[in-house]
Structure 1
Amino acid sequence: MLGTVEARQDGRPVDLGPVRQRSVLAALLADANRMVPVEQLIDRVWPENPPLRARDTLYSYLSRLRGLLAGGGLEIERLGGGYLPRVDPDAVDLHRFRRLVAEAREAEDDETAAVLFERALALWRGEALADVGTEWADELRRDLRAEQWAAELDHADVRLRQGRHAELLAELMSWTREHPLDERLAGQVVLALYRCGRQADALAHYEQLRRRLVEELGADPSPPLRELHQRVLRGDPELTAAGAAPDAVPHHFPAAPPSFIGRTGELAALTAASRPEADVSRVVQISALAGAGGVGKTWLALHWAHAHRERFPDGRLFADLHGFSPAGAPLEPSVVLRGFLGALGVAPSRIPPDQDAQVALYRKLVDGKRVLVVLDNAANADQVVPLLPGSPAGTTIVTSRRHLAPLITRYGARHLQLDILSHAEAHALLAERLGEARIAAEPAAAEALISLCGRYPLALAIMSRHAHTRPHIPLAEFAAELRDLGLDALDHEDPTVSLPTVLSWSLRALTGEQRTLFALLGIAPGADIGLPAVAALAGTPPRRTAKVLSMLEEASLLTRRAGGRYAMHDLIRDYATATAERDLPREEREAALRRVIDFYTHTAHAADHRLDPHRTVVPPPPRHPAPNPARRPTIPAP
């Protein structure tokens, strides 16, 4: 109910009929297990111009809803003057959200509270009552947005008390753009910055808010925020994570993924790599094989970590290193180290300012302990190495879009390739998100979605969300939309659920030459391509071209196949094509295509002559000249 109004029976979506009928159901479920007077229902469904026989129309809608939802756990009982919806409150997202938030606020410990808040906030799947356009629904939406925001801030307070300020900071900063005058949020940002060792930034953030309050509202910050500012100004050593103590057992960890499909082989490989008799470093790196992002690295790591939490009685640490994310610059290792040291019970005033000293203290605290450290979304090996525990008793999992060769070469990391889903896994993902019945009702459309998504996990998840929030639309329509629109159908204003945006983050770390070759490969003819043809396409010497191809492979934007052939996943190639059309001049694209066609033509001519040297053939036209490498345009950083 927090998204579109939806009902399910035996996991199958139920078509609730026209919008007014869905509005009636929403108006009832908002007051589950309480009688709603008829006049109130009419006001909620027809706030301005109710029909002449509103009561009869309302009764007709309710009668149809009873039939549609019979046996589905909802009974609509008619009482004197109104209707009583009898339903398990947990069957309605709205009431489950409120229950989980209430339990989180009353929880006796922060770990339990954090999990409950995460479960509650995960119920939000877009705008509440998105398909109900009445004045009552607008008011309820405003109230629910306020409830959600309060829960987000409460959850942030819990995570700050847990010492999770390093992983939380980027999220808080993004909220600031939407809520620039929220003083409670400002206090959380100031505290997180201070605990990350950024006292000057914390003071600057407070001053920025103070000026905005004066300019826009003519008011000063509230007394609690002013007090926090004074404590940061004097470097108050008591501004540390509440409850932290020396030798604390850290549980600095996100919740497990709500659902997880397949990956049996990869999970087994992780288990084998982390067994006690494995190599002494036991650093496991997960790298995407078929996709620069959205292939499921983080979910795999978190699912495995929660399934094997008993292996790590001395604690678990997690950090999103923001190597590829909307946050922009990757986190500095010293920021993460401060967060880890705080979770291990070290007060901010006792954390050394020098990074080498921080590394030494961190490794001393975890030495000989069975801890799990998950370093997610790493930009490069230099960002990771200071965060490795250095003790054979612990296990480290690193996820990255890059192969991070130094970890493999210098530290003996086990390299785990994460590919796209198998066909069975892709089918299971759709069935889990949409229900077996809906998939069985349109098997051809389901197969088309799997094929058009290329079994790419994020693409499948995006299309599943489209279909889940619109249960009345056939799957065939979504497949047709994806076929017609391509990547545009997988775009969204929220960057974390937009495949084009997620892919774009991989281009940030590339040089201009690498970005240009990536774009040109998108327009190259053929399903795959060899090095000589790529050199012709780029107009660069083969050795130089080989180095650029190697970097694109390292960035998980390209796959090298046997026989020296290079290929891209279809969706990544679509993105490369769009990049070329957007960022490369038409003349540059056409010149590259002429060069590679010339290469194929002359290669075919030479092969034909080798097979039959006595046959008379028409000589091919002269090759198209390669550009001057010093003048060759390159795509700037996004």
Structure 2
Amino acid sequence: MHDRIEIRMFGRLFVRRSNGAVVEADEWSTGKTTDLLRLLALNNNRAVSVHSIIDKLWPDVEEDKARASLRTAVSRVRHVLDEPCIERHLGGLVLRNAWVDVTAFQSAAHDLGAALRAGDHARVVSLAREAEALYVAEFRAYDDKSFWATQTRDSLLLNRQALLADAGESALKLQWMRDAIDFSTLAISEDPCFERAHRTLMQAHSALGEIELALRAFEHLRVCLSQELGADPSPQTRALHIQMLSAEAPPDVTRRPFIGRDTQVASLAADIRAAIAGEGCDVVCLTGADGSGREALLDAAVARVEHAHLRHLIEDGRRTSAAQRLARLASDRRSDITVWGPTDNDPVPDVELFRTFLTGIDADVPRVIVAITSDEAGDLLQAQLAGGRVTVHRQQVGALTDGDLVALATASLSAPPTPRLLAELRDQSERLAGRAVAILREWIASGWIISTMSGVDLYNDAGACAGAFPVGDYFRTMLEQLTVAETELCQLMAILDRPVSGEALRDIVHADQDRPAHVHDVQTSLDELADLGVLRVTLCGYEMRNRALRDAFEHRLRPAVKARLLRQVRDVSPRQAAAG
């Protein structure tokens, strides 16, 4: 199978031939040869003039000798890569049939900017993770202090800084505080005087209740600005600092729309309209378990009724006198809907108290009352008021469907949830809307939400959640310790995204006949990766230690390689199932 050449220039030069073989460093013969490859790769599929190449690589050499050196270097690149990948075009040289990590990084940065302008903050975060998986170290060249190498390195670094700042602010808007901390910490590690990143870090820590860490971030910025630039933090940053010192949280003006249960909202709205159009006193009995979202459902239904308003009665006691006093406060305007409850105590006393309340109002005066209570109390109330002067409308609020639960989680988290998060939410909330919203808010406030390639997930690495070690830094440190074979094994594990045994993984690795097998002893490699902390051992086999690390390995894959691995896994899995 003919593949493209793979060229990675972030950090140490890494080149893989189209047949899958990795080029060893000593095969290039000279450093100028590698710099020629870098120059052409930076302009992948675009012609670079011979004069420009000579000016950058052999500036102090006579033109005839420089051209001879260029011809030698071109010949060497073609020989090492074992194909005519460098062509002459429009008086220059062009590199063909190559995938380049710098080009992929720049493409992700461009798409991120478009997503930011469109207000798609979830995509901004996703593209930033993709770009970070490529930017494992600064761009380096053989002639590392040359103008072209320095200019390229600085340009890429500035792109990365802007990308990290944008992603951190987008994560902050989405309330993905751990992602915001991760991105801003990475940006600050490159430039300690970067105020945008410091403000994001301060706000994210403050939102999680980590005021001490937020204040430390400000102090770190103040010291760095003073020592490096002889300056003070900007007024915007100082205002944020004062806000944190006074423990004043900015008002949360975000109001999420009501999600799901359209049929029940429409039915309740119809009951309210019918009650408003009635001739006497109408009671809409809204029942369900505590945490089922009865009040949110009522708000959504009333929003569909023209000129309708809710007036909540404030209960100040369980005595009969309190019920009689509240009766005098019940509005007699048809558009004012009086709300009693919620009451979720003993059903019998609750119903008696509500009936006392009803005796204090004139049943012949048209008015609408909504009673929010339990299912048991609703049954009693409906039975006792049947055939009387008060018209009763009954609406029961039950558990959410799986589809509505997914929609609710997606709206609350600003991105689709992973199956793992959804299963945990389903178990804890029992599919009750109010409980689900409260649980999601608690997860957000506690910083347990993180974006992954599969959706928003619960972070399962307590150490990383402490904010001390960003995922990007952890991934770079990990890559430095891994061999090419171990990196490829991790990429395969990321594609599998499930626990797998050594035997099953060995079958997948050796199933690819078109590329050389770099992993000869799969079991030994798996054990070494587990010792390094990349994998963890479970009863079902080996799996990635956490979602963020898995995503980083998958983001680093070339699209063509990812597609090949997916086909490889798909082809081997049925054979394994048949053999089992």
Query: Rg larger in 1 or in 2?
Result: 2
The alignment's TM-score, normalised by the length of structure 2, stands at 0.44
The alignment's TM-score, normalised by the length of structure 1, stands at 0.41
